[in-house]
Chain A
Amino acid sequence: MPYITRPSRQSDYNNFPASCPIVIDNGGSNFRIGWAGESDPRITFRNVVQRPRHKATGETVTIVGDHDPALMKYFDCTRSSYRSAFDSNVVYQFEIMEYVLDFGFERMGADGSKVDHPILITESVCNPVQSRSKMAELLFETYGVPSLAFGVDAAFSYKYNQGLGICSKDGLAICVGLTTSHSIPIVSGEPVFEACCRANIGGYHVTDYLKQLLSLKYPNHMPSITWEKVEDLKMEHGYVALDYTSEVRLFQKGGKEAEEKTRCWQLPWIPPPTEEPPSEEEIARKAAIKEKQGQRLREMAAAKRSSRINELENELNGLEFLMKQLENVEENDIPAFLSATGYVSKQEIESSIVKVSQSLRKAKGEQVENEDKLESSTSEKYPLINIPDNMLSPEQLKEKRKQLFLKTTSEGRQRAKQKRFEEELQRERQNQQDEEKRLENPELYLEQLRTKHRELSEKVEQRKRLKANGTRTNGNQNLSGGVGRGERLNAAQKERMRLLTTAAFDRGKGEDTFGSKDEDWQLYKLMSRDNDDDDDGQEEDEAELARVTSRLQDIDPTFVAKLDVGPFQPLTEAPRFRPLTKEDFQIIIGVERFRCPEILFQPNMIGVDQAGLDEMAGISIQRLSVKENGIEDRITNSILVTGGSCLFHGMTDRLEAGIRMIRPFQSPIRVVRASDPVLDAWRGAASYAAAPLFLRQTFSRQDYYEKGEDWLRRYHIRYSL
């Protein structure tokens, strides 16, 4: 139950005479205390105690009942949660009970040296005598209570409703409590405990079941599903189905009716900020900024280029001037003249002039065509190549070797260029052929192209996968080069492994002839890691694929080239999450609305092997020893349901239907709900205690010590005075 308000201390305690009894309804969920004869209890609070440690002072304090959870920040609650004095419906921890009673009497305003009023306190049906005597002892010894009476809440509730005319003097009280449910037959206004029946199931189990189901259904909202919230949901939305099976079929089938019966609990959810598309102004502004930046970069590049051209021109002029000057200098004076400039020879100056003029042309954007020029004059460029070695000096020999090298490389370059050119031609031709084919039959051509593209891309993909396979199966493979047992290898890797193993195990077998033939050494090539794939075929395929793709892109507007996903890209790319929506923060309660209260009628659903509420009524009637004429009909004609958990909608109808199934045909059956199922027990007890004859039902401290335990065990009050 949610926190409402703390009960305030009553001030009129001293106005009541000592003979006026205090009435306590010591229920499993709520503790109610008030004065006999009044219509409502003065103080009501949850029957729980919490003993946290105060953070500042370190002392353990006692908090009884519900309180504002905001104040808990001052306390250390790690070792103390709510504790109840009850085990099932029996009080067993009297230390906690004492705290509860302390708080009850304190709030009532008690301030004398003892609680000098007779007490009527409720207890469970057939309370074990140990619990009863402990309670008596506590009240007599600690609070100095003069006299005491125990009664059963369900009976008081029945008596109260009998007084209101809701039920008659013979009947059945069905009380659905927090942890237990009772059915008690009432004959001539007196409860017959011989015939009563108790099932260990109640509102606590309903809430617990609902909580468990919801937290299993929505594991990510577990923190939101608190006991208090679930209790609220149960009280607000729970109902008892008239027939569980047909009701659940309705939901299984789905449809409008089931939808109407489904409830939705929206958890607090803040929608993520939506990104607005930038306005036109914004776009224009950004474009302008970009344009400006581009302009600036272009300007900078231009300035750099012009300054470089300037520099180069100056250098060239200087060099040319130097050359002119050199013409005037005598041959022998050249080294002396040049030592000041940093150049060694005339050739050097010439070569640097060539170099500078080349870079100048390049800077000015002119084509460098020296390659062609060089080609025409092979013999000029490499003058030493055709001269036999024996006619050259060692220096010239060196020069010749250099020239040879230069020649071969430039030739190689030439060949590659030629090849490229040919390839280009080939492609052009192919494209032309394709174009012709396309013009002949565009549809067919397109189709063919598509299939070809598909096949090729599959082939390439396949190869990539194969290549990637072994290396991706586990991370350490790349480092160690080892392959774990049972790991998948591609064909090449398998072959390599085979070679390695045979090489390893061949050693020492027979005569070692390895290396006698040249082919033997080929083995190492095969073993080497680079041998894993045959690249030539792959390259061809890839080139062809690229061609087909570009062609398709040109012709087919519907074609979307599949992105070339490298083998490692998916790993680096972060998985994209679906943005959370409002629906992800909803808790849907459909079947649970009646599935949870159903456990009161079918305790088997939560593994409690006991009869449900409707059957309990039949069992109670069966257990009745009074076989008066028509008593059973009279009882079934006045069935009262009381207790907090009977507030479910549809409870009485379901009970009536269930009991009708048990009883003989055409028995009169009337099920009524108590006028106030929660408070009637206290009210009944209060009006009972107000009667003058009540004091004869109580016992004093002296009685308690003189008569002994056996007497206390058989102690029962008479409910009709």
Chain B
Amino acid sequence: MESEVIEANILLPQHLSFKRVQMSEKYPKGQARGRHWKHLKQIIQAENYQTYPANEPNYVNIESPPSMYPSKKFCDITGFEAPYVDPRTNLRYANSEVFKRIRALPNEYVQRYLALRNAAIVLK
């Protein structure tokens, strides 16, 4: 190890006295462990929230419902209010200048703009 690295003291020590089980014992080196954790979605699925009374708060039912208000349309490029939608790219735009810019955009950028509001075409 370079002295600079040691001086900076950024590395976590391999052995820590206050631990009953060291990291190297728990996850021995050179052993493929695969994925040993669940994503949040899987965790929630495994929780079986539907078996519990509905008035009991849980991670799923405290989630915010969709907004009561109709969603406002904003220009994807500028953020201005957008009265128009380009039928070719599906981008919302505020005025003719933005429209010109939209039409000049390469498809990759159009898709990235759409992805910003989760409206991109996802090919599976």
Q: Could you tell me which A residues sit within 8 Å of B by CB distance?
A: 6, 54, 56-57, 61-64, 67-68, 71, 74, 87-88, 90, 92-95, 98-99, 102-103, 105-106, 110-115, 124-131, 141-144, 193-194, 196-200, 209, 212-213, 216, 219, 245, 248-249, 251-252, 591-592, 595, 602-612, 615-616, 619, 625
Is B121 interfacial (CB-CB < 8 Å)?
A: no
Pick the contact of B80 from A62, A252, A592, A602 — CB < 8 Å? A252
**CB pair B12 A102 closer than 8 Å:** yes
Task: State the Cβ distance, A127 to closest chain B Cβ, in Å.
Answer: 7
Write out the residue numbers on chain B whose beta carbons fall within 8 Å of the beta carbon of A595. 74, 79
User: Can you name 27 A-B pairs with beta carbons within 8 Å?
Assistant: A6-B9, A57-B1, A61-B11, A74-B2, A94-B37, A95-B36, A102-B12, A103-B12, A105-B16, A106-B18, A111-B18, A113-B17, A128-B47, A128-B59, A129-B47, A130-B46, A131-B43, A143-B19, A196-B57, A199-B64, A212-B112, A219-B109, A245-B81, A249-B80, A252-B81, A252-B94, A611-B68
B40 touches A (CB below 8 Å): yes
**Pairwise interchain contact B58-A126, C-beta atoms closer than 8 A:** yes
Interfacial chain B residues near A124, Cβ < 8 Å: 59
B88 lies within 8 A of chain A by Cβ: no
Question: In the complex the two chains form, is A62's CB within 8 Å of B11's CB?
Answer: yes
Bound-state CA distance A248–B79 (Å) is 7
B78 touches A249 (CB 8 A): no
Complex CA gap A615/B56 in Å reads: 22
Return chain B residues, CB-CB under 8 Å to A88.
40
A193 touching B57, Cβ below 8 Å: yes
Q: Which residues of A contact B55 (CB under 8 A)?
A: 194, 625
Closest chain A CB from B57 CB (angstroms): 4
Residues 77 to 124 of chain B near chain A (Cβ within 8 Å): 78-81, 94, 109, 112-113, 116-119
CA gap between A64 and B63 in the complex, in Å: 31
Say if the beta carbon of B32 comes within 8 Å of chain A.
Answer: no
CB neighbours (8 Å) of A144 from chain B are 18, 20
Q: Provide the bound-state CA to CA distance between A516 and B44, in Å.
A: 97
Which residues on B sit within 8 Å (CB–CB) of A63? 10-12
**C-alpha spacing A213/B112, complex, angstroms:** 10
Residue on B with the closest CB to A183? B64
Quick one: closest A residue to B13, CB to CB? A106
B116, A212: Cβ atoms closer than 8 Å: yes
Q: List the A residue with the shortest CB-CB distance to B70.
A: A604
Decide if B62 touches A115 in the complex (CB within 8 Å).
Answer: no
Q: Which of A98, A102, A114, A604 touches B67 (beta carbons < 8 Å)? A: A604
Consensus secondary structure, chain B interface: loop
What is the chain A residue whose CB lies nearest that of B69? A615
A213–B117 Cα distance when bound, in Å, is 11
Contact B112 A111 (CB under 8 A): no
User: A90-B40, A95-B27, A611-B64 known; 14 other A-B pairs, CB under 8 Å?
Assistant: A56-B2, A67-B8, A95-B36, A99-B23, A128-B44, A130-B38, A130-B46, A194-B55, A595-B79, A603-B67, A605-B74, A611-B66, A615-B64, A619-B64
Contact present for A71 and B10 (CB under 8 Å)? yes
- Of the residues B56, B58, B81, contact of A248 by C-beta under 8 Å: B81
Contact B12 A216 (CB under 8 A): no
Number of interface residues of B (CB under 8 A): 56
Q: Which residues of B contact A93 (CB under 8 A)?
A: 37
Query: In the assembly, what is the distance between CA of A143 and CA of B64, in Å?
Result: 37
Q: Which residues of chain B are near A61, meaning CB under 8 Å?
A: 11-12
Q: In the complex the two chains form, is A141's CB within 8 Å of B21's CB?
A: yes
Question: Could you say which of B59, B67, B72, B78 contacts A615, with CB atoms under 8 Å apart?
Answer: B67
Write out the residue numbers on chain A whose beta carbons fall within 8 Å of the beta carbon of B20.
113-114, 141-144
Closest 6 CB pairs of A and B: A607-B118, A87-B40, A604-B71, A62-B12, A199-B64, A595-B79
Is there contact, CB below 8 Å, between B17 and A111? Answer: yes
Given contacts A54-B1, A248-B81, contact A127 B39 (CB under 8 A): no
Min CB–CB distance A159 → chain B (angstroms): 19
Assembly CA distance A89 to B43 (angstroms): 13
CB of B112 within 8 A of CB of A216, answer: yes
Determine if B8 and A71 form an interchain contact, defined as CB atoms under 8 angstroms apart. Answer: yes
Please tell me which one of the listed residues B10, B16, B27, B118 contacts residue A606 in the complex, with CB atoms under 8 A apart. B118
CB-based contact A130/B47 at 8 Å: yes
Which residues of A lie under 8 Å from residue B119 when comparing CB positions? Answer: 607
Query: Are B2 and A616 within 8 A (Cβ)?
Result: no
Contact of B37 among A57, A92, A199 (CB under 8 A): A92
Residues of B with C-beta under 8 A to A92: 37-40, 43
Which residue of chain A has its CB nearest to the CB of B61? A126
Residues of A within 8 A of B63 (CB): 197-200, 610
> Do A68 and B40 touch (CB < 8 A)?
no
Choose one: B5, B27, B59, B79; the contact of A591 (CB below 8 Å). B79
Query: Does residue B28 face the partner (Cβ distance < 8 Å to A)?
Result: no
* B contact residues around A249 at 8 Å (CB): 80-81
List residues of chain B with CB within 8 A of the CB of A245.
72, 81
Q: Is the CB of B4 within 8 A of A198?
A: no
With contacts A61-B12, A130-B46, A194-B57 taken as known, whether A602 is within 8 angstroms of B71 at the C-beta atoms is yes
